[in-house]
Structure formats: structure tokens, C-alpha cells
Amino acid sequence: MSQKFNPIGIAWLLVVILVSGVAISSGGKFDSSLMTLLPKSEQQPIVQAATEQMADRFSKRLLLLVSAEDENKVRKAIPLLANQMGKLPEITEIDWQVSEDEIESIQNELYPYRFSVLDHNSRALLLDNDFQQIQNRALIRLYSPLSIGKTSLVDDPFSLFSELNQNRKNELKITVSNSLLKITSASKPTYLMMLTLSEQPFSPTLQRNILGAITAQEAVLKKSGVTIQMSGMLLHAELGARQANKEILTIGVGSMIGIIVLMLMVFRKFKPIGLMLISILVGCVMAASVTLFIFGKIHLITVAFGAGLVGVSIDYSLHFLCERQVSASKRVLQKILPGLLLGLFSSVAAYTAQALSPFPGLQQMAVFSVVGLSASWLTVVLWYPFFTRNNSIQPLSAAKKLNNFRNVFPRIGENKILLVFIFIMVAWSLNTIKNSESLDDIRLLQTSPVSLLAQEKEVQQLLGSSSSSQFLLLSGDTLEECLQKEEDITPLLDRLINNGLLKGYQSLTQHLPSIKRQDENITLVRQLYEQQLTPFYDKIHFANDKALKALTTLERNSHRLQPEVWLQQQNSEPWKDLRVVSDHLTATIIRFTGDINEDTKAALIALSDNSDGVEFIDQVQNISKLMTNFRSEITGLILGAYFLVFLVLLARYKAQVWRIILPPLLASIFTLALLVHFEQGLNLFHLMALILVLGIGLDMGIFLSESSDDSHTWLAVSLSSFTSLLAFGLLAFSDTPVLHHFGLTVLIGLTLVWLLAPIMRENIVEKDIDERGTTTI
């Protein structure tokens, strides 16, 4: 087995090549939506479709507000900027102007539906039978020199269409000024330009090209006093990518250099480093490939944290390589295989517990971790004997030095003061954890600087818009049903506006009434004609025979605006995304303008609770709730994993099993207590890091027990801890909150495991160190 590549090793190589090749050829599909981590039973397809639609609307748009003290300068700058942006292939559409012909064309689209689609004021007057007010309004419009819009005393004697165009509801603070989109709430001349991106804003090339072009134009325009404010996901994505690249160059490269230097100091060769990288690489590749085969796509969080769990597999490599320094090639596996098997089995059992969770995200991580650990384990067992067949036996001096340091540690069996101290620490830690606060609010993980968030908020206030994360979702079997529900609750929303709780809202029925509402409108207009048409014609001395023609026109042109027709009109373009269709389900969205405070939120939740098929969606709260559920789920799974591992190890180690279980368990408890003080609370990512602490801690106890505390085994498990500290612990210095929480937990947890493991071992009576560097017990 040690002289040549055995058949099983060749078969494993073929499996790795085949599986990875198929995965690469099929293309990796990655997912970044946190909502897909929810259990299937909690994922309403229509809710998910709506949230993704709202998010897509926000993420693919970049808003530019171009301002200057001089109106002429800013108006000249707009077309120049639009021309430069139009040259970029990463931008598919630029909205910055509306021609007079376009305005007239858009307005005239609704002319055939002037009797079925009414403005809010006209409908209110008709419902109150205030026909006189409508007649007076029509007279004023008829004789006013400033009257605009299409007017015909036969086709539309009461100017219902002109009223519709004039009073069409628009909560945004934007108006068309000489064909440009002017912000009405700005203190100085400010115009809007909206860019639509060709893809999601996470592409480095897209970020570089678009923001680079804007920065270049900004430098030119600044000379003439023109400034640009921006708002959009692209800004946050670019900042996150820049921060990630910076941390990769600092923390990532620094930890890699540290690991290489550490291994060279111990082994004095590059070959062991290459072998360790091979096993970890095979583990990650196989884990990602199998996860893709099973789930169809792989979540980015699974990759990030799963790769950390696979990092536990470095134990197998180090254990083999350290033992190979003092044992012949043929004897290595004979001596360490029981420990390797038990280490793999206990780790796999711990991570398999995640698969029992209803959370797809945890199920994915379980598959990734189990496959990755198993693949790395097989690589060590099947390939390492061949790769190290010609290595000479050469005990490592680091083993003896590290073992001497270990012997300084007190032992719990001979030190009652130490035992009492640990009991006190456990009691204090549990009490601290019990009284701790949760940090599950997703806003606490915000990475964007205050300046960027302030600019984002200022742009939203100028536009009169709000975040896409809070809205009302009205679902039904048909679009007509959804529109009717909208019309039922809009009076309640208007009441909230009158009470000062809500600034405004945008709904589909403001532009597309339900067929039922359109029928009501036509009936109201008929009543208006029947009672007021003849008196109106008499007042303006219009021929009475025209009344019959006007009534005939009313009947012939009482068209209903069907949704499929409206969707083809230019009128619908800004409002299409208020309609959601998913899996034969239909819904509409009501989004809000201005900030939603807690009182407004409570009122909207109460409104939705009392309305059938209406749901208040708060994406920030949903994701925070998701994190809370995950945290609770992982807490139970970690406790379950400890219990399962305890049962497995009990059969082999009997009364000594506590020496293996206690180090990672105590380390986890102490770590959580310290995190409560350092971080002011606990969140999901703290607990996920404890899985890594559990895996390395179990391997440490198992390998030490199987080798009777052999000094080279102590070196191997110590190196495993040190490399994990360098690889993951340094993330504690990351500016990215998720990575910081994960890294700090690993840093504290693994340090405590390494310190607690020797304390829990049996009393060591040092007799001598044999030629292998082994302590005789």
C-alpha cells in the first residue's frame, strides 16, 4: 500500500475528477437570497416573488440627482451626462427626459376610458351627488384661458379626462419641466436621471465601469458648479467588494503567510504544506459538487461557513504527517486509523444533526460539511501513504518543546482550586448567557458607512420615495380580486394620511381601477349625464340636439380598461412592478413614501390583520426573524450534537469520555459569556462558529486519547488549532460584521479549547522521552 498507488486510491482519484468535472461543466448556480434559507413550509411563493421583485427593482437601478445653483448650467449638464452614460454597455436604459409628444401620447392613451377611469376628486363628487360642483368646475375649465388638455363638449362635456390628467395621483416629488425630470422639493435646481443596469450590481466589471464613468463626469461637471448625488444598491455592492478585496489582501494573505511560515518552522519542508492543501481542496470541491447535485444550487453562506467546517479536516492531514515523522510508512495507518475513524464519525454525526433541521440552509451546510470531511478523510487515508512512501523517519523537535510546555499545565485531577475555579466560571458564564440580549437585527450587520447611508436617505427624501423593504401585499386568485381589495383598504390608508401617520402611498388602483370600480364609475357618469347634461348645455347656450349625441357617445365609449390592455400602454411602465405573479398566484403591492415609524408600522399591521388576503411585509424584520429562528435552531442542534457524540464516544471511552467532551463544551460556554461582554449580545454567526470549535475540540480529545497523549499527536492537534486560528481567528479584525463575529468566536473558542484540553487529561508522570519524542505515561 505504501509502495504504490493502490487501486482504491486510483478509484478515488477518478471519482474526484469525474464529479468535479461534471459539476464544472454544468456550471455553478449560486444563491444569495436569505429568504431561500427559510423552511419550505414558511416560504409563501407569492411573498417571496414580491420581495424579490421589489429587491430587483431597487438593485438594478441607480439614481443620479444632478444639481447646481444655476438652472441653465444644470440643464446643460443633464444631456451631456446622459450621452456619456449611454455609451456604457452595462446600462440598458436611461430615463432623464420626456418629450411633449410623449406626454401627449401617454395622456391620450386613457382618453377612450375617460368614463370608466376617474380621478379621485371626480368620483368623490359623483358619490356625494354633488353634480353642481362638477358642472361649475367644467364651466371654469371651459372659459379659462389657461385650460389645457383635450376638451369636447360632445365627447367629454364635463372635462372628466382633463381632470384625470390634472389630478393623476403621484406621490413622488418629480415634475416634467421643459422635458426634464425636475425634483420639486430640492432647495436648488435639481434634476433626476435614472440608470437601469444590465445585470445585478455585484459584478466587479460593472461596478468599475459605471462608477468610474460617473466619477470622471463628476470631476468635469464640478468645475462648472454642478454636483451629483447617487442612490442605489450598486454603491453598497461596490463598497462591500472593495472592503472584501482589502481584507483578502490583508487578513487573507496574512493568515496564509502565517500558516506557511508555521508549517515550515515545524516540518522544514514545503511538501507537507502541499499535501494539506490537496486534502482540503479535494474536500471543498467534492462538497460543492455534491451539494449542487442535490440542491440544484448552492447558497453563498453555505460556501463561506461550509468551507470553514471542512477546514476541520486539516486534523487528519496533520495527524498523519506528524505520525509519519516517527513511524514507518506501513505502520502509520495501523496506528492512527482508529482515531481517524472515530474522529470522522463523531464530526460527521455532529454535522449530520443539522440535516434534521427544517431549514434548507442548515441542510445544505450539513451536506457540504459531511461530504467535505469525508472526501478529505479519504484523500488522507488513500493518497498520503503513496505520497509519503519515501519520507525518512525524523522526529520533530517542535513536538518535544510543545510537550514540555504542556507539562506545565495544571491537571484538574490534582488541583482542587482549579476545579472550584472552573465551577465558578461555568456558573458565571451560564448566568451571563441567560441574561444576554440577541443581536439578530439585520441592520446591526450593516457595512455601509454613515456618509453613504445619509446620502441614500437624503435622495429618498428629495424624491419622496422610501425603502423597498416595507410594503403591503394583497393576494388573491385573480388580479381583479386583488384590485378590489386595494380599493377596500385605500380609505383606511387615506385615514392614516389624514392622521399624520402616513405620508403617502403608491398603489395599482391609482392607475388601473378594478372592473367592478370601472362599472361603478360608468354608472355614476350616466347619472351625471341624465341629471346635468341638459342644464349644462342650456347654461352655455349649446344646441340641445347635441345632448342626444353626447349620450350616444357615452354609451359607445363606456369601455373598461382591461389589465392586459393597460399593461401594453406607456402609462403602465412605472407601475408594472406593483403587480406580482407567481405559480398561478396573483398579488399587488402597495408601497409607501416617507419613513415608516413604529406607530405607522403598528397601524399597518393592524390594518392587514383585519383585512383578508392583506399582509404587511417588512423585509428587515423578516430577515431578522429568520436569523433568530436560525440561532434557536443551531443552539438546539449544537446541544443535540454534543449529546449524540457523547453516546458514540461513551461506548469506547467509558468513564473517561468527559475528558473529550468537556474541553469544547466548556470552551463554547466561556466563549459565549465573553462575547456577551465584548459584543453586547449574541447572534447567529457566533453560534455557527461554535460548530468549528466543536469539531476541532472533539478531534483533539479523540486523537490524544487514542495515542495516549503522544507528543507528536499533541503537536498535530495544536497545529490544527493554530492554523484554524490563523485562517479564521484573524477574521475577528474584519470590518465586515458577519466575518468579525465568526472570527472572534473562533479566536476565543479555539484558544480556550487548546488551553482546556491538557487540563482535562490524566495526570502525567514524566519518566522519559523516547526517540520518537513521546511522553511515557
What is the full DSSP assignment across 200-253? Answer: -TT-HHHHHHHHHHHHHHHHHHHTTT-EEEEESHHHHHHHHHHHHHHHIIIIIH
Q: For residue 408, give the amino acid letter.
A: V
At residue 776, does pLDDT exceed 60?
no
Structural contact between residues 741 and 683, judged by C-beta atoms closer than 8 angstroms: yes
d(CA 544, CA 534): 7
d(CA 702, CA 459): 59
At residue 41, does pLDDT exceed 70?
no
Provide φ and ψ at 29, rounded to 5°.
-110, 120
What is the full DSSP assignment across 401-465? Answer: HHHHHHTTS--TTT-HHHHHHHHHHHHHHHHHHHTPPB---GGGG--S-HHHHHHHHHHHHHHT-
**Which phi-psi region, left, alpha or beta, contains residue 179 (left: φ > 0; alpha: ψ -120 to 50)?**
left
Q: Parallel, antiparallel, or unpaired: how do β-strands 298-299 and 30-31 relate?
A: parallel
Distance of CA 265 to the CA centre of its chain: 41
What is the band of 771 on the pLDDT scale with cuts at 50, 70, 90? very low
Mean pLDDT of 127-142: 90
Angle, CA 705 vertex, CA 702 and CA 707 arms, to 5°: 105
Angle, CA 100 vertex, CA 94 and CA 106 arms, to 5°: 80
Residue 122 lies in a domain: no
Q: Which residues have CB under 8 Å from 549's CB, separation 6+? A: 154
At residue 774, does pLDDT exceed 70?
no
Please tell me what DSSP assigns to residue 90.
T
Q: Identify the burial level of 40 via C-beta atoms within 10 angstroms of its C-beta, where 0-12 means exposed, 13-18 middle and 19 or more buried.
A: exposed
Name 250's bridge partners.
none
Angle, CA 692 vertex, CA 418 and CA 272 arms, to 5°: 100
Query: What does the pLDDT read at residue 523?
Result: 96
At residue 486, does pLDDT exceed 90?
yes
Mean pLDDT of 367-384: 91
What is the band of 465 on the pLDDT scale with cuts at 50, 70, 90? confident
d(CA 768, CA 752): 28
Q: For residue 604, give the amino acid letter.
A: L
Residue 289 lies in a domain: yes
Per the structure, the complete domain to which residue 280 belongs is given by 269-394
**Helix ranges, 4-130 (H):** 7-26, 45-59, 71-85, 100-108, 120-127
What digits encode the pLDDT tens for the residues 605-661? 999 999 999 999 988 888 788 778 878 888 888 888 888 889 888 988 898 899 999
Q: For residue 54, give the amino acid letter.
A: M
Rg from Cα positions in the chain: 35
Distance of CA 409 to the CA centre of its chain: 45
Query: What does the pLDDT read at residue 777?
Result: 35
Select the more confidently predicted residue: 302 or 497: 497
d(CA 582, CA 580): 7
In this structure, the chain runs to a length of: 777
Count of Cβ atoms closer than 10 Å to residue 508 Cβ = 24
Range in 291-305, 326-340, 557-571 with the lowest mean pLDDT: 291-305
Structural contact between residues 399 and 717, judged by C-beta atoms closer than 8 angstroms: no
| Nearest C-alpha neighbor of 330 from the set 660, 685, 4, 603 | 4
Residue 361 lies in a domain: yes
Structural contact between residues 627 and 615, judged by C-beta atoms closer than 8 angstroms: no
Query: What does the pLDDT read at residue 354?
Result: 66
Exposure string (b/e) for 439-470, b if CB count within 10 Å is 16 or more?
bbbbeebebeeeeeeebbeebbebbbbbbbbb
At residue 36, does pLDDT exceed 80?
no
| Nearest C-alpha neighbor of 96 from the set 207, 177, 216 | 177
d(CA 739, CA 304): 10
Mean pLDDT of 382-388: 91
* Cell (9 digits) for 534: 341638459
Residue 239 lies in a domain: no
Mean pLDDT of 686-710: 85
Q: For residue 564, give the amino acid letter.
A: E
What is the band of 767 on the pLDDT scale with cuts at 50, 70, 90? very low
At residue 772, does pLDDT exceed 60?
no
Mean pLDDT of 696-704: 86
Residue 349 lies in a domain: yes
Query: What does the pLDDT read at residue 769?
Result: 40
d(CA 776, CA 707): 11
Domain count along the chain: 1
Q: Longest Cα pair distance anywhere in the chain, in angstroms?
A: 125
Structural contact between residues 210 and 200, judged by C-beta atoms closer than 8 angstroms: no
Select the more confidently predicted residue: 645 or 561: 561
* Cell (9 digits) for 758: 491538557
d(CA 268, CA 255): 19
Please tell me what DSSP assigns to residue 764.
-
What is the band of 773 on the pLDDT scale with cuts at 50, 70, 90? very low
What digits encode the pLDDT tens for the residues 406-426? 888 888 877 889 999 999 999
Name 471's bridge partners.
591, 617
Structural contact between residues 120 and 169, judged by C-beta atoms closer than 8 angstroms: yes
d(CA 406, CA 714): 9
Q: For residue 633, give the amino acid letter.
A: E
Residue with cell 486539516: 314
For the chain, the average pLDDT equals 85
Distance of CA 770 to the CA centre of its chain: 56
What is the band of 34 on the pLDDT scale with cuts at 50, 70, 90? low
What digits encode the pLDDT tens for the residues 512-531? 999 999 999 999 999 999 99
Residue 288 lies in a domain: yes
What is the band of 309 on the pLDDT scale with cuts at 50, 70, 90? low
Query: What does the pLDDT read at residue 766?
Result: 43
Secondary structure class of 469 (helix, strand, coil):
coil
Exposure string (b/e) for 200-239, b if CB count within 10 Å is 16 or more?
ebebeebbeebbebbeebbeebeeeebbbbbbbbbbbbbe
Q: For residue 771, give the amino acid letter.
A: E
At residue 146, does pLDDT exceed 70?
no
Sign of CA dihedral 713, 717, 718, 720: positive
Residue 773 lies in a domain: no
HSE-CB for 100 with a 13 A CA cutoff: 2
**For 108-112, which contacts have Cβ atoms below 8 Å and span 24 or more sequence positions?**
108/150, 109/569, 109/570, 109/571, 110/161, 110/164, 110/165, 110/561, 110/569, 110/571, 111/150, 111/161, 112/557, 112/559
Give the orientation angle of helix 253-267 with respect to helix 271-295, to 10 degrees.
Answer: 130
State what percent of residues in the chain have pLDDT above 90: 39
d(CA 103, CA 440): 48
| Nearest C-alpha neighbor of 602 from the set 589, 616, 614 | 616
Q: How far is CA 54 from CA 60, 128, 300, 579, 747, in A?
A: 10, 37, 21, 10, 39
Count of Cβ atoms closer than 10 Å to residue 643 Cβ = 12
| Nearest C-alpha neighbor of 605 from the set 469, 442, 495, 470 | 470
Select the more confidently predicted residue: 140 or 488: 488
d(CA 99, CA 56): 28
**Which phi-psi region, left, alpha or beta, contains residue 271 (left: φ > 0; alpha: ψ -120 to 50)?**
alpha
Residue 584 lies in a domain: no
